[in-house]
Structure 1
Amino acid sequence: MLPRPWIFLAAAITAEVLGLSTMKMASETNSLAFFAFMYAMIGLAFYFFATSVKDLPIALAYATWETCGLILITIISVRFFGENLSPQKMAGIFILITGVAMINFGSKESPETSK
C-alpha cells in the first residue's frame, strides 16, 4: 500500500485531471454544472496537494503532480477530444518523466545532509 502522502498526491492528480477534462467540456457547452464540477475538482486537487506536501518535498510533489497530470491529460485529449500526439509531444513527455526521476533521486537524503 502507498504511504499516506502519496495517496493524497494521487488524489490531487485525479481531481486535477477530472477538473481539467471537465474544463474542456465546460468551455464547449457553457454548462453551469460543468463549470461547478470543474471548480470543485480543481479546489479539491489543491487541498489534496497541500495535504501531501506536509510530508513530501514540495519540489518532488509538484513535479510528480504536474507530470502525471500532463501525461493523463494528454492521453484523455488524444482519446476523447481528437487531439494529436506528435513526436515532439512524446519527446516532451519523456523529458518530463526523466526530470521527475532526477528530482526524486535528488530528494533522497544523503548521510552528509542528515547530520
Structure 2
Amino acid sequence: MRKKWALLTGAVIAEVAGTLMLRATIENPLWIPLVVISYALAFTLLGFALRLGLPIGVVYGTWAAFGVALVAVLGMVVFGDTLSIGAMIGIAAIIAGVVLIETSTTEKPPEAGIEVNA
C-alpha cells in the first residue's frame, strides 16, 4: 500500500520540479532536457501507481491538485508570484475535493483483461 502512494508522491514531485524548471527555460533553454526528463519521470511513476491498483480518479486528482498547490506556493517562494485570496481559496477547495474523493473511494482490483504484475 505504501509503495503506491510513494510512487504517486514521486510523480507529484517530478511534475512540480518540471513545471518550475519550465519557467527557467524562458531565460535559459539549457533547462529543457531536465524539464523533459522530469515530466517523463512523472508520467512513468503515475503509470506504476496505476499498475499497482490505485484508482485512476484518485491518482489523477491527487497528482493534479497537489501539483497545482505546490507550484502555486513554490512560485511565490522561488519566483515572487502573488496569489489572490480567491486563488488560495480555490486551491484549498481543489485539495478538499481530492481528499473527499480519496476518502470515499474504495480500492478494487483492475478491470478484467488487464494484467498487473505487482
Measured against aligned partners, the alpha-carbon deviations of 1:27-56 in whole angstroms (never above 9, x if no partner) come to 2x142x200000110011000001001220
Q: 1:34 pairs with 31, 36, 39, which one?
A: 31
Q: Distance in 1 between matches of 2:93 and 2:46?
A: 23
Amino acid in the other structure paired with 1:95: A
Alignment match, 2:94: 96
Q: In percent, how many aligned pairs have the same letter?
A: 29
Q: Which residue identity lines up with residue 4 of structure 2 in the other structure?
A: P
**Moved segments of 4+, more than 2 Å:** none
The one-letter code of the counterpart of 2:69 is I
- Structure 1 gap segments, 5+ residues each: 110-115
TM-score, normalised to structure 1's length?
0.87
Who is 1:48 aligned against? 45
Q: CA deviation at 1:98?
A: 1.4
Give the Cα–Cα distance (whole angstroms) in 2 for the partners of residues 48 and 37 of structure 1: 16
What's the CA shift for 1:108?
2.3
Q: CA deviation at 1:105?
A: 2.1
Query: What is the one-letter code of the residue matched to 1:50?
Result: G
Alignment of 1:86 onto 2:84: yes
RMSD (Å), alpha carbons: 1.3
Scaled by the length of structure 2, the TM-score of the pair is 0.85
Letter in 2 for 1:23: L
| Equivalence for 1:8 | 7
Structure 1 residue identity aligned to 2:77: R
Unaligned 5+ segments in structure 2 are 108-118
